[in-house]
Chain A
Amino acid sequence: MTNQQNTPLLKEGLAKMLKGGVIMDVVDAKQAKIAEEAGAVAVMALERVPSDIRKDGGVARMSDPKMIKEIIEAVSIPVMAKVRIGHFVEAQILEAIGVDYIDESEVLTPADEQFHVDKTKFAVPFVCGATDLGEALRRVNEGASMIRTKGEAGTGNVVEAVRHLRMIKEQIAELKKGNLKAKAKEYRVPVELLQYVVDSGRLPVVTFVAGGIATPADAALMMQMGAEGVFVGSGIFKSEHPEKMAKAVVEATMHYDNPAKLAEISNGLGDAMASLDMKEVDVKLSERGW
């Protein structure tokens, strides 16, 4: 056989290598090195972490390629970067730079109200956000190779991440009882995709959580609920001691089911990031996308 590249197996395969790990938001090469040193499995390169995007308002776009390239140069771990929902040209640019994964992200301001990026057209793999099973499967059907639950980014509040992950689990369980054809119509996805979910009891691709994870205990909570890994955005570099917090979240994600270890890991980390109750959140980022 001749060599094959950019196949679904390879795209989904990289996500499998990241399982059990923490992917950290970084805004420059210096932070990227701190994240790698702490044991992050990948970094997400972006200009502003979600809590700052929230504060600043305005349109949030893909980061400057120069900064993304500097981060790629600085670390050996995979580098991801974000594009706006539906902005396929930003995605083409990131693919040209050679990022390892693209996050089509609701944290940035959506560029298209009708269509997400057709990810099957790209060589580079995509991760996409989802709040429920239908949304996750629509993204997979568009070619996403990895899913992350959305949570509510930049809040330091884990409640939405918990809700989204539980929702997906409950809907997978319900699927076994229901009429797949009707569900396929409701979710706007092929029935074969639903059949796969019923047979395997899980989403077809690796599923991480994101949005509001601020402490080692938050990361462990999500892992105990069945997440396969964790994205931490503002939670690391907006905390009082980023190096300590980064290491602690990595360890907690591995030792998620060991309370004695978690107690040790959580000791004396200083303040977590500044946080918001959901009532104080004026723009719900998780409602972007469909």
Chain B
Amino acid sequence: MKVGVLALQGDFAEHKEALEKSGFDVCLVRNIVDLVSVKGLVIPGGESTTISKLLKKSGLDKAIVERINKGMSVWGTCAGAILLADDVKSKKPIDTLEVLDIGIERNAYGSQLDSFQTELELDGKKFEVAFIRAPKITKIGKDIKTLISYNDNPVMVRLGNILVTTFHPELIPGTYFYDWLREHIFYG
């Protein structure tokens, strides 16, 4: 599957590299034309207010929602998770794509000094991730499945073609998470 990485701001280059290492055909998505050719989309980490503004200004916000509603697979991580959620707690109101019925609190673990690396378990196997000024999922709507929790907080949830994580797998070498993605989200 050809997977696009939203490249308005953030660590899109790291996502592209990690996906390519796992054998995906990857391109960067900077405008509506780029979006047409992709079958799946990654919304990377970055600053959600910045990406939100650039999404709106470029018209990509509406185009992405339309594609998601038609079944395009999407994975949002960290800032990307915030941008997919429909209820965000933040000091400043932020416009999101509102495609997933979850509540999320921005920067909920504290400052950069509270960022951490840890190991999570997915389908019985452990892999390492980084939480960097990460958000917390505070509530999830019905039918949404929690795939991984950390200290009783959901950190990876899914509803059909929409996957949300609050951690970064892309900063740490290893293909386990990406192999999982190929099997469950970006398949075909």
Asked if A165 CB lies within 8 Å of chain B CBs, one says: no
**B-contacting residues, A64-82, CB 8 Å:** 72, 74-78
Asked whether, in the complex, the Cβ of A17 is within 8 Å of the Cβ of B117, the reply is: no
Known: A19-B11, A254-B9. A36 touches B92 (CB 8 A): yes
Q: What total count of A-B pairs have CB within 8 Å?
A: 126
Asked if A1 CB lies within 8 Å of chain B CBs, one says: yes
Contact of B91 among A21, A74, A78 (CB under 8 A): A74
Asked if A10 CB lies within 8 Å of chain B CBs, one says: yes
Asked whether, in the complex, the Cβ of A10 is within 8 Å of the Cβ of B14, the reply is: no
Asked if B78 CB lies within 8 Å of chain A CBs, one says: yes
Contact of A17 among B46, B53, B116 (CB under 8 A): B46
Asked if B90 CB lies within 8 Å of chain A CBs, one says: yes
Asked whether, in the complex, the Cβ of A14 is within 8 Å of the Cβ of B112, the reply is: yes
Stretch at the interface among B64-72, B127-135, B154-162: B127-135
Contact of A19 among B13, B57, B132 (CB under 8 A): B13
Asked if A226 CB lies within 8 Å of chain B CBs, one says: no
Asked if A41 CB lies within 8 Å of chain B CBs, one says: yes
Known: A13-B171, A75-B92. A39 touches B54 (CB 8 A): yes
Known: A4-B117, A5-B116. A10 touches B132 (CB 8 A): yes
Of all chain B residues, the one with the shortest Cβ separation from A100 is: B112
What is the bound-complex CA distance between A20 and B14, given in angstroms? 13
What is the bound-complex CA distance between A16 and B130, given in angstroms? 12
Known: A4-B117, A16-B11, A250-B53. A37 touches B47 (CB 8 A): no
Asked whether, in the complex, the Cβ of B90 is within 8 Å of the Cβ of A76, the reply is: yes
Contacts of A40 in B (CB 8 A): 50
Asked if A3 CB lies within 8 Å of chain B CBs, one says: yes
Contacts of B132 in A (CB 8 A): 10, 13-14, 17
What is the bound-complex CA distance between A101 and B8, given in angstroms? 23
Contacts of B92 in A (CB 8 A): 33, 36-37, 75-76
Asked whether, in the complex, the Cβ of A4 is within 8 Å of the Cβ of B50, the reply is: no
What is the bound-complex CA distance between A40 and B48, given in angstroms? 10
Asked whether, in the complex, the Cβ of B54 is within 8 Å of the Cβ of A254, the reply is: yes
Contact of A16 among B14, B113, B118, B119 (CB under 8 A): B14
Interface string of B2-27 (1 = CB under 8 A from A): 00000111111110000000000000
Contacts of A75 in B (CB 8 A): 91-92
Contacts of B8 in A (CB 8 A): 20, 254
Asked if B138 CB lies within 8 Å of chain A CBs, one says: no
Asked if B175 CB lies within 8 Å of chain A CBs, one says: no
Contacts of B54 in A (CB 8 A): 39, 250-251, 254
Asked if A26 CB lies within 8 Å of chain B CBs, one says: no
Q: How far is the CB of B14 from chain A (nearest CB, A)?
A: 6
Contacts of B14 in A (CB 8 A): 16
Contacts of B30 in A (CB 8 A): 254
Question: CB within 8 Å of B: which residues of A?
Answer: 1, 3-7, 9-11, 13-14, 16-21, 33, 36-42, 72, 74-78, 95, 98-101, 123-125, 247, 250-251, 254
> With A10-B130, A19-B13 given, can you name 10 additional A-B contacts, CB distance below 8 Å?
A5-B113, A17-B47, A19-B9, A20-B10, A36-B92, A39-B53, A77-B49, A99-B111, A247-B53, A254-B54
Cross-chain pairs A/B with CB under 8 angstroms, 9 sampled? A3-B116, A4-B118, A9-B130, A13-B115, A14-B133, A17-B133, A39-B50, A77-B49, A101-B112
Shortest 5 CB-CB contacts between residues of A and residues of B: A100-B112, A20-B9, A39-B53, A16-B11, A41-B47
